Structure formats: C-alpha cells, structure tokens
Amino acid sequence: DSGVTQTPKHLITATGQRVTLRCSPRSGDLSVYWYQQSLDQGLQFLIQYYNGEERAKGNILERFSAQQFPDLHSELNLSSLELGDSALYFCASSVEPAGGKYRGLETQYFGPGTRLLVL
C-alpha cells in the first residue's frame, strides 16, 4: 500500500459524458501527479500540482482539467469523453526534497489507479 488513494476504482460511462476522478496523496506530500495508461500509448504524464498550484503540464488534452484543493487532494476532470479516453488513470504523490535540491522522480508513490471505460 503506497498510501495514495484513488476513487473510484472502476468507472463505466458513455461517450460525451463528464467524469471526475479523485486522488488523496500520502500524508505530508504536497505534490500530486496524474498519469494516463492505455494499451497503445503506455504511461503518459498528464499534469502536476504542488500545494494547490499547477507546476507542470504534460500530454493533457484540453477536454481534461485538474485541480488540487487546500486539503491537498486532487481531482481530474474528463469531459466530452471519447472511446479513446478509456484507460487506467493513476495519481502519484511526492514530497519535495529538502534544500530545494530537486533530483527527479524518486519520491513519487503511485496510487492503485482508476480504470475508466467509455462505451
């Protein structure tokens, strides 16, 4: 158990709909990251938030948006869903290293993921 929780575990919806995925980071972690894992695209970084603010953006579609709330949980909103959005969505969290010596991804802990199926 990584300490990162994600809900729901599974989600089935129809094209054109909108869904919200939720992530609670590990206690004390300020950063939250969202990833999409599909069969043909592998694991893709979507977006990162640090202490409520967007820090980095990856391959996130305009139909998708995210936010991090004051209690540090994060939500990923997916709208106008298409069949190709079916994938596993992972959230990860990390704590910033001391002294600002940012080294990379070593402190990221992944949640169990939300499996989204768009019919």
Partner 1 sequence: GQQLNQSPQSMFIQEGEDVSMNCTSSSIFNTWLWYKQDPGEGPVLLIALYKAGELTSNGRLTAQFGITRKDSFLNISASIPSDVGIYFCAGNSGGYQKVTFGTGTKLQVIP
- Check binding of 2 to partner 1 (CB under 8 A): yes
Residue 25 in contact with partner 1, rule: CB under 8 A = no
Place of tokens 């989600």: 11
Nearest to 23 by CA among 81, 108, 118: 108
**Near partner 1 by CB under 8 A: residue from 13, 20, 38, 44:** 44
Distance CA 22, CA 91 (A): 9
Which of 27, 28, 53, 103 contacts partner 1 by CB under 8 A? 103
Contacts of 86 (CB under 8 A, 6+ apart): 38, 116, 117, 118
Binding site for partner 1 (CB under 8 A): 2, 4, 31, 33, 41-45, 48, 50, 55-56, 58-59, 90, 92, 102-106, 108-113
